[in-house]
Structures are given as structure tokens and as C-alpha cells.
Amino acid sequence: MSTQHDEHDAAGATGVADQVVAAAERARAASHGLALATRAEKDAALQAMAEALLTREPEVLAANGEDVARAEANGTPPNIVDRLRLTQERVAAMAQGLRDVAALPDPVGEVLRGSTLANGLEMRQVRVPFGVVGMIYEARPNVTADAAGICLKSGNAVLLRGSSSARSSNAAIVAALRDAIAGTGLDPDVVQQVPGDSHDSVKALMRARGHVDVLIPRGGAGLIRSVVEESTVPVIETGVGNCHVYVDRAADLDKALAIVLNAKTHRTSVCNAAESLLVHADLADTFVPRVVAALQEAGVTVHGDERFQAEDGVLPATDEDYGQEYLSLDISAAVVPDLDGAIAHIRRWSSQHTEAIVTEDLAAARRFTAAVDSAAVLVNASTRFTDGGEFGFGAEIGISTQKLHARGPMGLTEMTSTKYVVTGDGHVR
Amino acid sequence: MSTQHDEHDAAGATGVADQVVAAAERARAASHGLALATRAEKDAALQAMAEALLTREPEVLAANGEDVARAEANGTPPNIVDRLRLTQERVAAMAQGLRDVAALPDPVGEVLRGSTLANGLEMRQVRVPFGVVGMIYEARPNVTADAAGICLKSGNAVLLRGSSSARSSNAAIVAALRDAIAGTGLDPDVVQQVPGDSHDSVKALMRARGHVDVLIPRGGAGLIRSVVEESTVPVIETGVGNCHVYVDRAADLDKALAIVLNAKTHRTSVCNAAESLLVHADLADTFVPRVVAALQEAGVTVHGDERFQAEDGVLPATDEDYGQEYLSLDISAAVVPDLDGAIAHIRRWSSQHTEAIVTEDLAAARRFTAAVDSAAVLVNASTRFTDGGEFGFGAEIGISTQKLHARGPMGLTEMTSTKYVVTGDGHVR
């Protein structure tokens, strides 16, 4: 989080808090109309938002150029600058993302259950929007358009608090989206950038209980932890993935090798990449040399237990390694005595995001999927499949690693609450 | 919350926190076995728990006698002492409650959705327990048995932190339940009383993030607010109900009168009782005199706006009245210009628990149920129907007034999370 505005005085902090609450109140008022908007109205707005991004691409790229120049002048590492940088292709992808959301079904109004009670009351549970959602996120400006689209389709007004390093890009994107929304007759205050880019605005969002219904932090572990610990607004925790692949005694070793390599190396900077490898003791002599060689060939540094250290180039693994989400070409590795040893290791170290077992043994697969308590448990498949797109949700606001409300990839339905609608004819108790 | 242990020093507070974490860790270990228990095993435990309460009734009543005597000696008001008091009938009702939970279907393992993805991966979303649930509640000792039963059936270990005024009763109940559970082969640490009865133990529960998965406060508004604001463990907020009945221009006035009387007077101390009455301006002259007379006849004090004050005995209503959950024979009342005026009043003052409209006009009913954002919205029925038992859930742990995870009456299914189980045959991306 940026702290460049730390010179503000207490009056400044109060000012930002008041502005955030005022923005949330405008969002609340706008959300009432959005909650009643038809799917056709919302889809028209999404198409107009996509169109506006394409039409105003030069403006968006120019604003992004300012952010990139400032980041480079500040000595920001090139990989972070790359996350920040927009191109014609990336703007086109944002627009396409909005059109994709328009093509998805409307979650609002879906009837989850319903029955006629013994006394004749007709009861149904219906999906409704949360109301006002706060998004706190880092670096990538494309999240601004993605989050605005998902929130609008699910009937929620959104307060966007992106990274201060992307403030010019985000402002240009939000301006384009708001004009497009206003042009279709919806209230543009359903999409707002949070006023202020000091940490005070984040604090104000976290204290806006009653004004903001749900807060979703997306970014590094530090950001997420601070929001979870400090917020009085209900939070949906996303993302840290210390994901394990367990190669069972009954594994097909070719499948195991392919899955370990894919899970570790397909994309290292994402939360569903594998960070730890567990191998059944009976396979130590056959599989450990083979998997270490293949991982090293792919450029991966292996941090292993004693058995793994018997292979050339394997570094010793510490507790810090087993507890870590590397997000790099590193993997921790250990030999476990058996299936229950693997489950115990996972219970101790996992962040409960995604765990995979490789086995041809049905009983082992059943036991692993029942006993491992993670958002996703995979059998004979790469951890990389835990993803809203792969699951067919069509859009994803993040991957929840908490157990309350939503767990795993969150699509449009996870951005809703429910209410009970009960109809009678003068019923009393 | 009791503060009689305020003389403890910092070391004492640390001691309680450590004990609470240790209890939570025992609960976690026990929860692993409970999560895998079959329905038959859980139902056998519930039946044994019911049996134990009946067998050990003298012990439970004797312990309760100590609590009642202490409360009376402290000058506790008679209505609070009554909530605390157990009788043979109340113990029998607790036992029957456990048997009722045994008769309900097991939520764990229910498949919520599933499909075969384009690449052949089989994906399903399955209900799983939360793991460790913390309950913080006041006065009534019967909540101890109810919460233990609901948590056990839904596969959750529970840490029970009841009122210190009920500590002897709760200890006797928990002892009976734990012995019964152990007798059926399950780990008795799935039901534990939280060590310590000072406020430190509540604080320790609220800070036990990672050890406790969900915290559910049940009690007065002050308790709930403090837990919601201070807890770093995810919270399900229950219960404050400032519920409204709106009598529309197109209401059948006989139904309206019956519903208002039932909603206000059937039971005043509960969260689904009506606290505020709104009447369409066109009915002011016909319905206001009639409803005021009927309410006063039933012993209700009406706190009304100017039009209501034209009737004898109506007190003036302040903002405090409109914002209040009386839980007594009082009701606030106002005439509103039209349906949208009623919706605006409700948006301003409601706690979003339950709102009812009385109308024969389909368009008015549709608009009210769509625009009013409360856990339950009723048409031509008393607010008293917002209840797990009435909705056919069979058991209720509380009524959620938040939008995250669960909204409205929470039964067994609301006491679960989900996970995705995905099965492939060597799938990689």
C-alpha cells in the first residue's frame, strides 16, 4: 500500500473517511435502481462499457503511460511495471471480458429453493445482490474493468480502490465506464473510484460497516491479511495458495510427472500453482530421482527433505519452505510414509486453496478427497484447474480461501446474497 | 457480559487465551473424525445425548438451581431468572430437540452442483462442515444442547461460551453430552465448554483466527455488535429485528388488523415480532382509529406520528422510536404517502430482518418484495413466520441479518461450507 500521502494530518484523514462514506451512500442510492434493473438493461450497459473502452483507448493508454513513467522513475521492478502496463491488446481484452460477462446468465432472481408450507404459505429463497461491494486491489488496471463488469451484472454497486501506482489508468477506465453507463440510463454511481489514494481511503472502506456490504481484497498476502484483520465490514478472503501435489503409491508415474511439472511450471505467479510436492515412501527410489531431474531440467529449484537432498542440487527444506507460497520456480518436497502422512502434512502446511492426489487407487482417492479440507481437491489433475474460467463460471472475481459464503473460484452467483419471499392470504400464528 | 473476574492480571488473560486456543486445537483434531462420520454414527450420538440429558436430569436441575439461586441473590430481574430456569419440561424439550435433529437429513456430502467439463474433468461442489464453530450466547441454558446438536449433525466441533450466569447449568449439560458422545465412539472434544467465564474468554475466541472457523453470537444487540466489531474470526451476525408491517391502500383491512395484532402481540420478546406499523395515507381515516383501538385493547402502547397522535392515548414517536427494537408491548406507527414512501421509511429504519406488506394488489406486492432488501419479505402474513421451524428447516441456530453466507433462518445446511472435488485422468493445462 502506498504511503506517499503520510504527511496528511488528522483532519485530512477525517476528510477522506467522510468522502468514502459519501461515495458509499451514492453507491447505495444507485444500487436500489440497479437491483431492480432487468438483465437486458444490465447487458446493454456492459456492451456500452466495452464499446467505450475501445473508443477511448487512446485516452486510457495515455493515462497508463503516466503511471508507467512514474513507476519507472521510482525504480519499480520490471515485472511489476509489466503488470501495470496496458497495450492495445490488453484494452481489447478488457472490452471482450465485459462482453463475455454480458453473455452470462443473470444470477439475480434465481430461485434457490421453494415450497408451499403446511399452512399454505408459499415460500421461496431468491438470489439478490449484496448492494454495495468494496474492491481493494493491487497493480493490474484490468481488474478495474473486470470487477466493474462482474459487480454490475450481479446487481451490485462497486467502490474500486486500486493501487495508487495505477491511479491515472484506473481514473481513465472508470471515467469511460461511467459515461457509458450513464448513456444507457443507469445511474453511473454504480461504478466509482474511491476518493483519495492514501492508506486512509483503505482504512475508511474497512470501517464503513453499514455503508459497504462486502469487502473483497485482491493482491498480495500482506494486503489480504491486513484487510481481514482490520475490517469491520464482512470480508471475502481471496487467494493465497500453498498448493500440494501428493504422488500416491498407486500413482501412474507418467501422469504424476506431467501433473507435477504442469502444476509447478505452467505459470508460477498464480495462486493455483503447486508449491509443494509429497511422494509416498514406496516410490522414493523410483520417482524421486526422476521428478527432481525433470523439475531441474525445467529450471525449478527443489527444496527437499533428507531423501530429496540425496539428489544432486536439492537444497534443504526448512519449515519456512513448507509454509511458503513461492510464486516462483521453487518447490518444497518431502517423502511421506503413506496417504495419512500426506494428509497430515497438508493439514499442517496448506493454505486450503488446492490440493491434488495422483493415484489409480479408488480407495486412496476417496480418502484423500474426503479428508483434505481445501477449497478444491483434485484427483489426477493439475492444481492449475482451480479457476473460474476452467470451471465454466465464465468470469471470476477471485478465488476464496475462506469457508464462509463462498469457497473456491467466485463467479457471478458468489457475488449475490439471498432473501426469502413468503406469500400468504392473511396468515397469522 | 460478566465482568466479575476483572481483577485478573495480564498473565491471567494470557492464560485464558492459551486455554481457549488449546481447546480449539482439541476441537480441530476431533473435527477431522467428525467430518468423516456417517449419518448413522452422528444420529446415534444425538440419540445418546438426548438419553443422557433425561437420565442425568437431577444433576442438571441441581446445577441450574445453583445458577438460579445466585441470580436471585444478585437481584437479577424475574424475567431474566425465568429465562435461566430449567424445569423437568424444559430438559425434556432439550432432549426432544436433539432427537428432532437426528431425524433431519445430513447436510454433509450433499452435491450442490456438478458437471463434466469440456476436457472431461468431472467437477462437483460438495457440502462439507466448517470445522470448528464458536458460539457466544446469553442466558438460556437450552441453547447449549441445541447448538451442540446442530453442530454435531452438521459435522462441526463446537466451542460453547454461554453466559457466566448459567455456568453451572451449562457445565452439567456439557458433561452429560460429552459422556454420551464418548460412549458412542466419537471424540467428546467435538463439544466443549470454553474455559474461563470472564470476558477474556470471549476476547480469546474473537482473536482465534485460524483456530476457529466461524463465530456465531446469539443474544442482545450489545453482545452482537461487540463481536461483529472486534472479531478477526469470520462472524455470522444474528438477530436484531426492527420489523415493519405496511398496510397498503389495497389491503383487506380485516387481514391487516389480524396480521398487525399477531405480529406485535403473539410474542413480544422475539426478533421477528413487529416493531413498527406503516399505513397508506388513503387509509388514515378508516384504518388508523381501528388499529389503534385494537392494539390498545391488546395492551400495546402506540408511539405515532402526527396523524396517529390524533387518536387518544397515542404517544409521539421520535427517531429513536422508529429505529428501535422494543421487544415489548410498544409499536411505532406512521402514515406514509404511498408504497414508495413505505419502502423509503423501511430503507431508513429497518434492521433488514423481516418486513411485511398487506395488500390485495399484485403490482404492489411485486414492487414491495423486489425493492425491500430484508432477509424475509412477507405478503399478507405475520412477521412471526420468519423462523426455521415455520420454514420447515427443523432446527435453527439463529436468524442471520447479514448478507454474507447465510441470510434469514439458519438450519443445518447454513452450518456448512463447500468444496470442489475434481477428478481427471492425468489432466494438465
In order along its 429 residues, chain B shows pLDDT tens digits of 333 333 344 445 678 999 999 999 999 999 999 999 999 999 999 999 999 999 999 999 999 999 999 999 999 999 889 989 999 999 999 999 999 999 999 999 999 999 999 999 999 999 999 999 999 998 789 999 999 999 999 999 999 999 999 999 999 999 999 999 999 999 999 999 998 778 899 999 999 999 999 999 988 888 888 898 889 899 998 878 999 999 999 999 999 999 999 999 999 988 999 999 999 999 999 999 999 999 999 999 999 999 999 999 999 999 999 999 999 999 999 999 999 999 999 999 999 999 999 999 999 999 999 999 999 999 999 999 999 989 988 888 989 998 999 999 999 999 999 999 999 999 999
| Chain B residues lying within 8 Å of A254, measured CB to CB | 426
- Of residues A254, A403, A427, nearest to B381 (C-beta): A427
Do residues B120 and B221 share a domain? yes
User: Nearest C-alpha of chain A: how many angstroms from B213?
Assistant: 7
Query: Is B428's CB within 8 Å of A266's CB?
Result: yes
Contact B375 A419 (CB under 8 A): yes
Q: What does the block give as the cell for A230? A: 482490520
Same-domain pairing of A263 and A210: no
Helix (H, G, I), strand (E, B) or coil at A187: coil
Are A420 and B408 within 8 A, CB to CB?
yes
pLDDT of residue A35: 97
Letter string b/e over residues A287-319, b meaning 16 or more CB atoms within 10 A of that residue's CB: bbeebbebbeeeebebbbbebbbebeebeebee
The whole-angstrom distance between A203's CA and the closest CA on chain B is 14
Cα dihedral sign, A28-A30-A31-A35: positive
Distance separating alpha carbons of residues A385 and B122, to the nearest angstrom: 11
- How many structural domains are present in chain A? 2
Burial of B345 (0-12, 13-18, 19+ CB in 10 A): middle
Cβ–Cβ below 8 Å for A36 and B371: yes
- In chain A, residues with a C-beta closer than 8 Å to the C-beta of B259 are 426-428
B269 burial class (0-12, 13-18, 19+ CB within 10 angstroms)? exposed
- Phi, psi at A33, each rounded to 5°: -70, -40
Q: pLDDT value at position A221?
A: 81
Find chain A residues with C-beta within 8 A of B128's C-beta. Answer: 373
How large is the greatest C-alpha to C-alpha distance in chain B, in angstroms?
80
Q: Collect all residues of chain B within an 8 Å Cβ-Cβ radius of residue A132.
A: none
Q: Are residues B423 and A381, on separate chains, in Cβ contact within 8 Å?
A: yes
Q: Are residues A224 and A287 in the same domain?
A: no
pLDDT of residue B4: 39
Size of the A and B interface in Cβ pairs below 8 Å: 216
**B39 and B171 in one domain?**
yes
In a domain, B402, yes or no: no
In sequence order, the 6+-apart residues with CB closer than 8 A to the CB of B110 are B126, B127, B413
Strand partners, A123: A115, A422
Inside any domain, residue A402: no
Positions in chain A whose pLDDT score sits under 50? 1-11
Q: B225 and B184 in one domain?
A: yes
Q: What is the CA angle A227-B206-B195, rounded to 5?
A: 160
Residue A363: name the closest of A355, A373, A371, A352 by CA.
A371
* Minimal-distance CA residue of chain A relative to B415: A404
Residue range A252-295, pLDDT digits in tens: 999 999 999 999 999 998 899 999 999 999 999 999 999 999 99
Residue B427 included in any domain: no
pLDDT at B2: 36
B132 and B276 assigned to the same domain:
no
The reply to whether A429 falls in a domain is no
Instruction: Please judge whether B378 and A423 are an interchain contact, meaning their C-beta atoms are less than 8 angstroms apart.
Output: yes
Give dist(CA A419, CA B112) in Å, integer.
Answer: 19
CA distance B26 to chain A (A): 14
- The candidate with the shortest Cα–Cα distance to B277, out of B269, B267, B265, B376, is B265
Residues A196 and A281 in one domain: no
- B347-362 as b/e: b if 16+ CB within 10 A: bebbbbbbbbbbbeee
A336, A342 Cβ separation under 8 angstroms: yes
Option in A347, A390, A429 nearest B384 (CB)? A429
**Cell 502446511 belongs to residue:** A349
**DSSP three-state, residue A109:** coil
Which residue in the block uniquely carries the three cell numbers 449419518?
A: B39
| B152 falls within a domain | yes
Residue A89 located in a structural domain: yes
Residue to mutate among A36, A420, A423, A425, with most B CBs inside 10 A, is: A420
Sign of CA dihedral A65, A67, A69, A75: negative
* Contact yes or no for B385 and A424 at CB 8 A: yes
Give the closest of A377, A382, A402 to B421, CB-based: A377
Q: What is the CA radius of gyration of chain B?
A: 24
Best residue in A119, A209, A419 to probe B by mutation, most B CBs within 10 Å? Answer: A419
Q: Are residues A253 and A195 in the same domain?
A: no
What CATH number should be reported for the domain holding residue A113?
Answer: 3.40.605.10
pLDDT value at residue A9 = 42
Q: Judge if B220 and B305 occupy the same domain.
A: no
The distance in angstroms from the start CA to the end CA of chain B is 54
CA-based nearest residue in chain B for residue A422: B378
Q: Measured between beta carbons, which residues in chain B are less than 8 angstroms from residue A405?
A: 404-405
Asked whether residue B292 falls in the same domain as residue B227, the answer is no
CATH label of the domain that carries residue B251? 3.40.309.10
Please indicate, yes or no, whether residues B251 and B370 belong to a single structural domain of this protein.
yes
CB < 8 Å to A261, chain B: 428
ipTM: 0.92
Give the per-residue pLDDT at A394: 82
Q: Cβ contact (<8 Å) for A255 and B426?
A: yes
CA neighbor of A343 nearest in space, from A309, A374, A381, A304: A374
Q: Per-residue DSSP letters for A286-303? A: HHHHHHHHHHHHTTPEEE
Q: Residues of A with CB below 8 A from B407's CB?
A: 417-420
Contact (CB<8Å) B32/A347: yes
Selecting from A261, A371, A427 the residue whose C-beta is nearest the C-beta of B385 gives A427
Is residue B403 in some structural domain?
no
B403: nearest CB among A115, A130, A382? A130
Both A198 and A251 in a single domain?
A: no
**Nearest-10 crossing angle of helices A10-36, A199-206:** 50
Range of the domain at B21: 10-237+410-421
Please check whether residue A281 lies inside any domain of the structure: yes
